[in-house]
Amino acid sequence: MTPIDLLGLVAIILVARVALSLRPVTVASNGRSIAIAKEYLDPFIYAGLAAWLLITYVGRTYYIPSESMVPTLKVHDVLLVDKIGYRFHPPHEGDIVVFPPPIPTPDDFIKRVIGLPGERFRITKGVVYINGVPLAEPYIAEKPNYDLKVENYGIQVNDGYGWHPLDPSAANIPPKSAWTAPDTIPPNCYLMFGDNRNDSEDSHIWGFAQNTGTFQSGPRTGERAGFTGRAFVIFWPLNQMTILR
């Protein structure tokens, strides 16, 4: 995921336009250049501050560079991401979330929340089961070609070569002390998957994403974790504008 400051640019343009329309340009004869500079500079200072507040605390636009969320999100789509909601409530199953993954990368990832803290979780023959109940997933491109289960304080994956646990040195698998049960997703941890299941670098490779705290294992151990926000609108292209769940 690549952030683009479209909202910030819009804020600068709108605030500057309003400010310029409201401020009369009055110039003293002995300080003409200074007065003109001040009259035109002040609105952009206010606009810059408004843009910073907007993209830091309210929302931001992101550009989709890969096919990991096809068919829901396509390459070149531009999304609006809500950065406020998760300050008041935890992520919900099905949310499409922007977040820093527990692997070294300069960019945030975007995936769908599938497994929540405290749930029993498995994927068997392409079907997701949460607490033993199959999950309807009309949004995926195709069923995954691997099986997965949360078991024995870890994530076990069968990719056609037998079952093996994800390695805590390469994936975010919290230590046993952070789990409440050996076969349920630990607190503050989420299983995140791309809708294009067989072409997505997600939880079946790098383990749990975390909404708070620091990554507890893997190559980014000790680095700050936390969700950036929830994608809620495909903003561009305009003819495909869509409200996301």
Q: pLDDT tens across 133-167, in order?
A: 999 999 999 999 999 999 999 999 999 999 999 99
- The structural domains of the chain, with segments of one domain joined by +, span 2-59, 64-243
Residue of 21, 74, 83, 111 marked active site: 111
Distance between CA 94 and CA 49 in Å, rounded? Answer: 34
Residue of 21, 29, 66, 68 marked active site: 68
Percent of the chain with pLDDT over 70: 76
Identify whether 68 is a catalytic site residue: yes
Among 146, 243, 161, which residue's Cα sits nearest to residue 194?
Answer: 146
Q: pLDDT tens across 2-54, in order?
A: 565 544 444 444 444 444 444 444 444 455 555 554 555 555 554 455 444 44
Burial of 158 (0-12, 13-18, 19+ CB in 10 A): middle
Q: pLDDT tens across 71-83, in order?
A: 999 999 999 999 9
Class of domain 64-243: mainly beta
Q: pTM for this structure?
A: 0.79
Identify whether 111 is a catalytic site residue: yes
